[in-house]
Structure 1
Amino acid sequence: MPASNIRLRAVLGASLLAISAALPAMAFAADTTTDVEELVVTARKRDEALIDVPFSVNAMSETKMRASGAVNLEDISRNIAGFTVQNLGPGQSQVAIRGISAGQLARDQPGVKEQVGVYLDESVVSLSLFTPDLDLFDLSRIEVLRGPQGTLFGSGSLSGTVRYITNQPQLGELSGSAEGTGSFVTHGGRGADLKGAINIPIGDQVALRVVAYGSQFPGFIDAVQPDGSINEDVNDGTRTGFRIAAKIQATDNLTITPRYLQQNVSVNGFNRVDRFNILGNPYTTTRPKVSLGNLNQYTQLEEKFSDKFKLADLTVALDLGGMTLTSISSYTDRDVLVVRDATALTGSITGGSIGLGANVYTLDAPLYDTTGVKLFTQEVRLASNNAEKLDWVVGAFYSDMDRDYAQYLDVAGFSKLTGIPTKGARAPTDALYYSTVPYTLKQSAVFGEATLHVNDRLDVTAGLRLARYEEKRKLTFDGIFADVTIDYPGNVKADDSAPRVIVAYKATDNLTINGQISKGFRLGGVNDPLNKPLCNAADLATFTPLAKPSFENEQVWNYEAGMKAKIPGGSFTAAAFVSDIENLQATVDAGSCSSRIIVNVPKARSMGLEAEFNKQLTENFDVSLSASWNNSELRSSVRDSSGAVLQSLRDGNRLPTVPKFQGAAAVGYVRPMENGLTAFSNLSVQYVGDRFTQISDQESNPRTVSLFNIGAPSVSSLNFQLKLPAYTQVNFRVGVRSEDWEAAFFVNNLTDEKAELAVDRERGLRARYGYLVSQPRTVGVTVRQSF
């Protein structure tokens, strides 16, 4: 454990002073009898009221998601303190909690593990960059568990855990709901959703719940083509899926819940706005000029993203009286395809670096990224039931993942036009880059956690997870752009632990103060080799010694103090934390090599404050507020062989993708009408502060980039802004409902804010520079019927 007692005492002391200052008001609240709805969560793998969980947790119900205008995980993150999602395109979001982030991952970094674990109920579904874009219909809630959750959830929950909690089958109840939505996007196309759920009792001991949904995503990006024509709304797409779950009450003590889920996402392009493209820009003097910006990009071919996701799981719970034995088995089969237009990247090499003619550097160059995953997990745990003195859980976990990753850059006609042979040991003709990286990852762990109720006021919790990991890879890289490597083995083994201790003190009936020390970790991995044929001499000398075969486990020690208070008509929660990070896995862009490597930064730190407030102001009005302040930065530097700081990995620089401040406010209004209906409305405002996509973006910003001599540009260099500006999004919803139906009109992104979510670049900005952007103003109507 890091020697940080002085710092810890200072942070906890400051937090406790703030809490103490609030005690008189809380004591007043204790004397006021007000019914407060208590949402039940399973953050500690047992049912308990949200207000009673002794660490920082947010739970958002499906009703609240609809009211706030949330349609995906990114929308939800803007309403929750300390929770951020970096949009990298459909189904390719990166999740961060409490400012712990190492920067944007690229599609060709399959060995980098996630920092936040994502679960569907009890089944893990997170997969590094490819966090599933799950539909939010028929959910009970989404739980966001802040801080390391490795004790109960393992590697990948280094900074927290996100859990989609579905509605479960209900015995003896016939019920259901259907929902339809139509919308249109300013500057874009039309969207539609049709969703339904039904709960069917089958006798007294069996119930079936079936959910089905289909969505048409509206496009809003226009693609300029080489002939000057425009392909409109190229980032439209569809999502279809269904979920079938059964509850079998085999005996009074034995419950069996099998489930099958399938979802297909298909999108025809990406939410990317190009500001500069080497093949289409206003600076060329010998090629047609192209004006970019607004909601335009430049492409030569159609891009695509598809994600076929299947999950089967089985939960068995046996009540043994004073304890419950639970088994969760899951199997995931997933196939992801990303087709990118890499013509700008390839042209910057063939035309810019090599100097071949326009008939070569304008050849279509689709880059195919394929990911296939088969994952089996098994967890068995034994937990106490309603113990008076000691609540406890012990268990074991095992997972076995086979993942096949491949890239294929197909530049048809290249060899014929240039006479350059391209067929390699594995690469076919005209495949200028070809790779296959199959690997297996096996994990095994034992864990346990117990809470001692010392007295009516004081609880002490202690837990520990011991884990072992082994990853085996076989690296094959071929083609004239690659450093040819055939069936080269890469192995990583690691053992790690995740302890935590929590102390919770109930100062009054309505106020609890808690403190926690916990550890999280994520597994290291294997670096891909540099694309040495593409490197210039300077980059080759700089990055060759840094491209180590493997990188180390990343670890976090977290220290926090918090409070949870019931107030008249609502609740108030707050927490302060310090997270010391060891061996941060930072991505380094190897410039002209068109490669990325992971280097470990020895020390980093994230510290901050987060608070959430909910209150029923009157019988008509309610308000929700959330805010977080975060200061996350490197605490050491990484230098290259010359002694120079490597790509802004400098002590004191900010960690990327997360803002220093974000906040949200929502005001709800309901009013019963004389005809038995109820009118309602909700206005939410979400603010996200400025951020950087990568650590390296904060130095030399704006960055001056020398242009390749393609199209005889009228300027020799351009300045590119790399700081992502702050943005505010406003959502509004108004409607009417009865006991069994609802109709609502909504406007999401009311002010038509064009938020820049991440910098998109190719070959160190010299091939392409632009942004991934948010969806413009969206207006629509939703109708919902329940029975």
Structure 2
Amino acid sequence: MFEKQETICKLLRGAALTPLMAASIIAVPAMAQDDAATPSPPVAPAGNGQIQEIVVTAQFRDQNLQDTPLAITAIDSALIEARSQSNIEDVAKSAPSVQFTSGGQGGGAQTAAVNIRGIGASDFLFPNEPGVGIYIDDVYYGISLGSAFDLVDLDRVEVLRGPQGTLSGKNSIGGSIKMFSRKPDDDPDAYVQAEYGSYDRMQISGGTNITLAQDRLYARVTGLARSVDGFVKRLDYNCANDTDTAPGGTFALPTDNCVIGTEGGQNVFALRGALRFIANENIENTLTADYTKDHSEASPSKSIIYPSAQYITGPEEYTNYANYTGYPGTPEQFTNPAISYVTQWGIANTLDWQMGDNLALKSITAFRKTKGRSSWDGDNSPEHQVNDLNIFRHEQFTQELRLSADLGDMIDATIGGYYYNADSVFTGRVSNGAAGLDFVPNDPFDQESKSGFIHLVISPTDTLNFTGGLRYTKEDKTYTFSRSSAIPGDPVNPLVAPLDGLVGEFHGSHWDYRIAADYEFYPDIRLYAQIATGFKGGGVNPRPFTASQLVPYGQETSTSYEVGLKSFLFDRHLRLNLAAYHTDYNDYQGQVSSCPDISPPGFPFCSATLNVADADIDGFEAEFDFRPGEGLSFDGSVSYTDFQFTNPKAGSGIIAGETRPIFVPKWKYALGAQYEIGLGNRGTLRPRLDYAWQSDMESTIPNGVPGFTFGTVDSYGVLNARITYLSPDDDWEMALAATNLTDKFYYANKFDRFTQSGNVYGTVGRPREIRFSVKRRFN
């Protein structure tokens, strides 16, 4: 299955690389592969405080953000750094209609549940593919595991909201998050940055361009190393309470302050390299490679409700009694390491060939490999309810070809094809004491997706454009179940034993389309309207506790109707973008925790992905950037998402008009303010404040009905602050930053298992952290 050498050979053949190009050094996925054809977007204000254009590539070509008839949030590297945003989850907090929850469902700290406008995915296991596509320089990352990327050495991030069924990469039903990195050129663009902060945070990063042959060959090398101690202390119950009533024995001593270990710590090393070859004025090729080793701790969690109430620590204490031990006090006792490990590497090649004055070819070829292991103490107690170890491997090969042409003065056309092939395996140990289950899965999953697309922009005048897109996609998925006993010599539990050797498949296809029109009815003020569709392929429930729960689910589809306004006002001192939409959402793929219709009588345990209902989604979004005067800027966004289930399926637990979707806050807003204070020949001082708030949301289905009322994640807001000093020549930069300045205690996620096992627990957000950094630029 994992034929690495054959896949790499395909990559090299598909990219038509020269031996010199193949010598490129390694890279980090969090730092994104370079797209040589994409220019750096100028986002800094001009000398008079005006806002300049931002260049995006959402429609296969360089295009000003304000001219693109799509709802897009574009953030450049300067704003990312000014906001103290260190990963893609931080960026999502300030983007309208985007919810990014990492560490969910026991899949590890680097695993993300992402949705845009209420559409995404709720489970990390194969074959539940993401509903929001995450891209690194146009290379699609096909799984949720390990997708909570860091942001280092980026040029910009683009967040595309709404179905992306006809645009670049793989079809994405909810939207796309695209990261673009700096490209090698003749500017040294070198820097070294060191950082120290709370919880013994230590980080060093750096990068530089290298000119290997002037006007022909450039390289860029970047690296990152970070270590942060965990902030949730795992206490030994017997030690902390001077008792021996908890099963399993004593794991820590008073001399250790009764601390077994911590959760939430990070230990990351990453390296990336890019090699850009300019053969002539018409041919350019960029090869990148990356490597990341993330040996972080398990997700930080707390028990909220538990049958044995003494195992619950203080409501706002960053502590728990998790010992990651199964069968405590018995001969079968075992302890998992409290870890969340991910190792990734990849290689990608982007070829840009200007074949004529009006014809261009782009080829994007990539291979990625990810492996990891993570532990999950699902009860956060010294008892044995849930104590899982997840081990996963994933390999993917992608190829995208685009042929773009200018057909006269009125028509821009792009035709292309996309291929995705992935082989994955999920194994580890599933030990659920409450359900009486303990087994070892060893489940391979194979997926193949092929698509072809066409995209046209017709411009009858300089101010009026019509856009059309069409894509056909064919997908095939195969999931094979393997079940063996976790205890040598013991038989497999009779509930899961019948699953061994069973195969679940999905074979499907779909047509997607997009129709849009935009009109600049006044200089710098543009209206647009569009209809766009998207879909997400089906599969088979990967979490059956019994053979009866092994059921397939079909693909989900959406049709979105959107109108929007993009404007520059007050002589380009204000950028204001508005959007309103309605989405018809069919066959919602929901992970439900109650499924009596497919479970044995009286068996309450379920965690199944099923098509549970349809939905109507209505919402609006507003984003602004205001520069009232030289050095002063305000930015922000607000969004409203009204998600209503319709046509619930029997046995789903969904009640139309009452059940809420998961990970969808109805309201969300973000505000930021920055002022640049000139110190004459002593440099510049730049203070900044950012506040992001979201209303409450649900984390489980069903919800709001008897037995399922504890999964509500309360509303919360987080305030960040930063003050930066720049030397007169900008070569030196020092910054003092605080995230969660008010030390707000909040839950980012909750898990309502009250009906199944009497417990509820949550993933806690990071407390206040102070950081001091020094950066040296070499130009």
In structure 1, the residue matched to 2:141 is 125
From the superposition, tell whether residues 455 and 588 of structure 1 become closer, same or farther in structure 2 (CA, over 3 Å).
Answer: same
Judged with a 3 Å threshold, the aligned counterparts in structure 2 of structure 1 residues 727 and 214 are, in CA distance, closer, same or farther, namely same
Check 1:156–1:348 CA distance in 2 against 1; reply closer, same or farther (3 A cut).
farther
Pair 1:725–1:556, CA change in 2 (3 A):
same
Aligned to 1:510: 524
Q: 2:767 aligns to what SS in structure 1?
A: coil
Partner of 1:616: 627
Matched, 1:45 2:60: yes
5 Å-filtered alignment, 1:225-236, equals 225-228=236-239, 229-236=258-265
Judge conservation of contact 2:94–2:692 (CA < 8 Å) in 1.
yes
> Do structure 1's residue 752 and structure 2's residue 771 form an aligned pair?
no
1:126–1:570 CA distance, 2 compared to 1 (3 A): farther
Q: TM-score, normalised by structure 1?
A: 0.82
Q: What SS does the aligned partner of 2:58 have?
A: coil
CA distance in 1, matches of 2:496, 2:285: 51
- Candidates 544, 555, 558, aligned match of 1:556: 558
**Aligned to 1:484, what secondary structure does the other structure show?**
helix
* Matching of residue 526 in structure 1 with residue 540 in structure 2: yes
Q: Deviations over 1:506-542 (max 9, x none)?
A: 1111100000000011110012474249xxxxxxxxx
191, 204, 218: which one pairs with 1:177? 191
Does the aligned pair in 1 maintain the 2:322–2:382 contact within 8 Å? no
Q: Aligned residue for 1:397?
A: 418
Structure 1 match to 2:348: 313
Structure 2: tracts of 5 or more residues without a match = 1-47, 240-257, 325-336, 485-491, 596-602
**Does the 8 Å CA contact 1:501/1:516 hold for their aligned counterparts?**
yes
**Offset at residue 765 of structure 1 (A):** 5.6
Give the distance between the partners of 2:660 and 2:545, measured in 1 at CA. 29
Aligned-pair distance for 1:281? 3.4
CA apart distance, 1:757 = 1.1
Residue 571 of structure 1 is matched in structure 2 by 575
- Report the 3-state secondary structure (helix = DSSP H, G, I; strand = E; otherwise coil) of the residue aligned with 2:145: coil
Amino acid at match of 2:292: Q
Task: Show the counterpart of 1:17.
Answer: none
Deviation track 1:105-136 (CA, whole Å, cap 9, x = no partner) reads 2x5x3211111000001111141x32523221
Aligned residue among 770, 773, 776 for 2:764 = 773
1:636–1:650 CA contact under 8 A, matched in 2: yes
Q: Which stretch of the first structure deviates more once superposed, 672-681 or 660-669?
A: 672-681
Please state how far the C-alpha of 1:600 moved relative to its aligned partner.
1.0
2:354 pairs with 1:339? no
Paired residues of 2:88 and 2:150 also in contact (CA < 8 A): no
Query: Residue 222 of structure 1 corresponds to which residue in structure 2?
Result: 233
Amino acid paired to 2:504: G
Q: Identity percentage over the alignment?
A: 21
Q: Corresponding residue for 1:729? A: 718
Shift of 1:723: 1.7
Considering only aligned residues, what root-mean-square deviation do their CA atoms show, in Å?
Answer: 2.4
Distance 2:379 2:269 in 1: 31
Cα shift at 1:610: 0.1
Residue matched to 1:426:
none
Cα pair 2:380 2:761 within 8 Å, conserved:
no
Structure 1 residues 759 and 658, CA gap change in structure 2 (3 angstroms): same
TM-score, length basis structure 2: 0.82
Write out per-residue CA displacement over residues 694-728 of structure 1, whole angstroms, 9 at most, x where no aligned residue: 2312323774xxxxxxxxxxxxxxxxx33211111
> Which deviations, in whole Å up to 9, do the C-alpha atoms of 1:343-374 show, x marking residues without a partner?
7799667xxxxxxxxxxxxxxx8522111111
**Contact map agreement 1:395 1:447 (CA 8 A) in 2:** yes
Is 1:154–1:465's contact at 8 Å kept on the other side of the alignment?
no
Equivalent residue for 2:275? Answer: 246
Could you tell me how far 1:635 is from its partner in structure 2?
1.4
SS at 2:642's partner residue? strand
Equivalent in the alignment of 1:467 = 473
Match of 2:129 among 75, 91, 113: 113
Inter-partner Cα distance in structure 2 for 1:63 and 1:462:
34
3-state SS in 2 of match to 1:90: coil
With over 3 angstroms needed to count, the CA separation of the structure-2 counterparts of 1:702 and 1:397, relative to structure 1, is closer
Q: State how far apart, in whole Å, the 2-side matches of 1:342 and 1:687 are.
A: 28
* Aligned with residue 90 of structure 1, among 109, 114, 118: 109
Taking a change above 3 Å as real, the CA distance of residues 570 and 774 of structure 1, as seen in their structure-2 partners, is same
Cα offsets for 1:32-51 (capped at 9, x unmatched): x9742111111112111111
C-alpha displacement of 1:154:
5.6
Match of 1:7 in 2: none
Match of 1:137 among 148, 152, 172: 152
Contact (CA 8 Å) 2:113, 2:120: kept in 1 or not?
A: no
In structure 1, give the amino acid aligned to 2:317. Answer: N
Which of 181, 190, 200 pairs up with 1:190? 200
Instruction: Between 174-183 and 462-471, report the one with greater CA deviation.
Output: 174-183
1:65 has 2:101 as partner: no
**Are 2:711 and 2:751, in contact at CA under 8 Å, matched by a contact in 1?**
no
Structure 1 partner of 2:285: 256
Aligned residue-pair number? 674
Asked if the contact 1:177/1:784 (under 8 Å) is kept, the reply is yes
* CA distance in structure 2 between the partners assigned to 1:697 and 1:397 by the alignment: 39
3-state secondary structure, aligned to 2:702? helix
Native 8 Å contact 1:100 1:632 kept in 2:
no
In structure 1, distance between residues paired with 2:712 and 2:376:
25
Could you tell me which residue of structure 1 aligns to residue 30 of structure 2? none
Select the residue among 670, 673, 678 that pairs with 1:664.
670
Larger deviation, residues 558-567 vs 600-609 = 600-609
Q: CA offset at residue 687 of structure 1?
A: 0.8
Are the counterparts in 2 of residues 223 and 232 from structure 1 also a CA contact under 8 Å? yes
Shift of 1:649: 4.6
The corresponding residue for 1:584 is: 588
Q: Distance in 2 between matches of 1:740 and 1:761?
A: 51
Alpha-carbon distance between aligned partners in 2 of 1:649 and 1:527, rounded to the nearest angstrom: 22
Is 1:629 the counterpart of 2:618? The answer is: no
Aligned match of 1:600 = 611
Return the alpha-carbon distance in structure 1 between the equivalents of residues 392 and 753 of structure 2. 21
Aligned pairs for 1:5-16 (under 5 A) are: none
Q: Check the 8 A contact 1:209/1:246 in 2, yes or no.
A: yes
Deviation per CA, 1:58-113: give whole Å up to 9, x if none.
111111011112111221112111111123252111111112246x32x5x32111
Unaligned runs of 5+ in 1: 1-32, 284-288, 350-364, 415-421, 423-430, 534-543, 641-645, 704-720
- Asked if the contact 2:126/2:542 (under 8 Å) is kept, the reply is no
Aligned residue for 2:95?
80
Q: Deviations over 1:318-362 (max 9, x none)?
A: 11121111111100111021122367799667xxxxxxxxxxxxx
Q: Which amino acid aligns with 1:606?
A: I
Secondary structure (helix, strand or coil) at the match of 1:282 reads helix
